[in-house]
Amino acid sequence: MGIRIPQSNVLSSVADKAITKEMHDGLGRAITTASSLEVKQGS
């Protein structure tokens, strides 16, 4: 008898990776926006 992994665990892992990527992408955009605002205020 082989080891069976419930399908929901696989789907949740894929969803977690997608959510993590979205969070990182959003954080990168927030940092870029904050940096450009600082530059504008400084000039």
pLDDT tens digits along 3-15: 776 666 767 888 8
5: phi > 0 → left, psi -120 to 50 → alpha, else beta; which?
A: beta
- What pLDDT does residue 40 have? 78
pLDDT bucket at 39, cuts 50 / 70 / 90? confident
CA atoms lying within 13 Å on the CB side of residue 23: 6
